[in-house]
Chains A and B, each alone.
Chain A
Amino acid sequence: MRRGQIALHGMLAAGGLLMLFPFVWMLLTSFKGVRQMINDPMAWLPDPWVPQNYPEALGKMPFGLAYWNSFYVAVLTVGLTLLTSAMAAYAFARIRFRGSGALFLLFLVTQMVPVQVTIVPLYLVLARLGWVDSHLALIVPAIANPFAVFLLRQFIRAVPLELEEAAKLDGAGRLRIFWSIVLPAIRPGLGALGIIVFLTSWNSFFFPMIFLTSEELFTVPLLLQRFASERGAIDYGLILAASAISVIPTLIAFLIGQKRIINSLAASGLGGR
């Protein structure tokens, strides 16, 4: 048994090293200068250490602005998605109305259509609205999220009806019940969903690539891709410094909230897009 555990640790640790190696290589290479990349590309450690890659990457591209763009787009997307999907979920879970079943089925069906299938018409719709090359194109269409409605509906159904009945007896209306009873009761669900929606928006590349053309609107992934493709495959140190700039804050946030983040995605990430 004991030996089995040691062998298991050995295999899992080897796999773990393979998982981490790309990050380590990114950090090490980001400190290497062009000369070393040409003369001795396989050296593990930078020689000499070239921290200039970082200020250079930061100076050539507006990463600060891109961070702000990514951040506020993600925060707005999360806020609007949580509010509207909780509202819809409440209607499906607690209000009896004609066509409830059919409407729910419609949500189910549309969820199965990948965004890639509708991207061209979506572009036409957003162009008509005048939202192309604006952050509205990233935020508003992302609100339509049947998966979020399903997930929160499950959470609302688990809220004891007694709570709502008691509030009703106290004279609370639908809005009061939704806002002060239901929303607080499904906080774990909202938290998990918020994490999923934030990560999806934060790392999204397809939509920003298609809808944004002005550099001052770029989100971090799009700016990084443009930066790398303009540089070509020569200055790896600089490109990986830029990658590190875009990745490190996310990794720190992940390490701080790892337990909640992993559990959110494990429990409900299957349907997340």
Chain B
Amino acid sequence: MAVLTKARSAAVPAAPVKVRTRDGWWAAFFLAPQVAALLAFLLAPLVIAVALAFVQWDGLTEIRWAGLGNFAAQLTSPEFLRAVWNTVKLGLITVPVGLGLAVAIAVGLNSLKGRAANVYRVVYFTPVVTSSVAVALIWQVILASDENGVLNTSLKRWLGVTGPDWLGDPGWVIVAVAIVTIWSSLGLNVVIFLAGLQTIPPQLLEAARIDGAGPWRAFRSVTLPLLSPTVFFSTVVAVISSFQAFDQIYVLVNPEHNEGARTIVYEVWRLGFKEFELGMSSAAALILLVLTLLATLAQFAAQKRLVHYDT
């Protein structure tokens, strides 16, 4: 049996075996549902989005060619540029702070003795499974600027500091959103880093200790390089998801009343579903896609210098 399999798999890479038509039919059968769904609900909408970005259309009346007009209008519109800046600002806070905290907590959990680590893991993970709407409503009460805002009232009572109007002040609202985002995604990053840390052989840290490295030195020279592929992957995912921020902000702040909370996705949604400017909305959506791809490519370029791959 094993011999047969081995012989078969050895023969595979050699010459492209002629495809038997029966196999083709079977492949079509097994692939059909996913491919149909992919074409209808991911690919066709993407093609339509590209087409819509070059026309002017409200969904009802005549479609008119707009050329690059939609892109030009968006890229020069102060509203859209502000949305881009708000989105970038959110990413600039949540990605480094969120991932930095997650690494610190994961390293702490990894060096705990006994079974306590699992209790912490559950505690830190709880917000991850909680619906973003409920999370936003709870934090709305905590961050409220009136007497009910437990955060500001505590700041005042214990530190004598007057806290900002977290959800009302356009200058602060992204910070508030970042706090909530970090709180709700921290647990996921912690367990991902924890899984990464557990693949690091303890002998390496032991060797570093014998060579006289303190805990900080061991972290910098052994743990961090070996964890860097995980950190890199999490960074890419975190940047992408910060570009897609919408749900929590929409419930937490109501961006309609606070321009500081309008992100790119909010603009896509507003232009499409409130203003019925389908062309403008699609242009904004494609700019979002390009920005996402550029940010991802930039990170892949940076990884060559920063990420250590064990060979």
Contact = CB atoms under 8 A, between A and B. Distances in A.
Q: Indicate whether A and B interact.
A: yes
Interface of A: 5, 8-9, 11-13, 15-16, 18-20, 22-23, 25-26, 29, 37-38, 41-42, 83-85, 87-88, 90-91, 95-98, 100, 103, 106-107, 110, 112-114, 116-125, 140-141, 143-146, 149, 161-162, 165-166, 174, 178, 199, 202-203, 205-206, 209-210, 220-222, 224-225, 228-229, 233, 236, 239-240, 243, 246-247, 250-251, 254-255, 258-259, 261-262, 265-267, 269-271
A183 to B, nearest CB: 12
B282 A121 contact: yes
Interface stretch (B65-73, B74-82, B110-118): B110-118
Interface stretch (B90-98, B133-141, B221-229): B133-141
Contacts of A123: 272-273
A107 B37 CA distance: 11
- Interface majority SS on B: helix, strand, loop or mixed? helix
B129 to A, nearest CB: 5
Given A85-B34, A144-B42, A221 B133 contact: yes
14 contacts: A9-B116, A19-B126, A41-B148, A42-B154, A87-B31, A95-B30, A113-B42, A121-B46, A162-B2, A203-B132, A205-B247, A206-B246, A222-B133, A229-B254
Contacts of B205: none
Given A42-B153, A117-B289, A236-B148, A96 B282 contact: no
Contact of A125 (B40, B127, B195, B251): B40
Interface of B: 1-2, 4-5, 9, 17, 19, 23-24, 26-28, 30-31, 33-35, 37-38, 40-46, 48-49, 52, 59, 105, 108-109, 111-113, 116, 118, 120-135, 137-142, 144, 146-148, 150, 153-154, 157, 183, 186-188, 191-192, 194-195, 233-234, 237, 240, 243-244, 246-247, 250-251, 254, 265, 268-269, 272-273, 278, 281-282, 285-286, 288-289, 292-293, 296
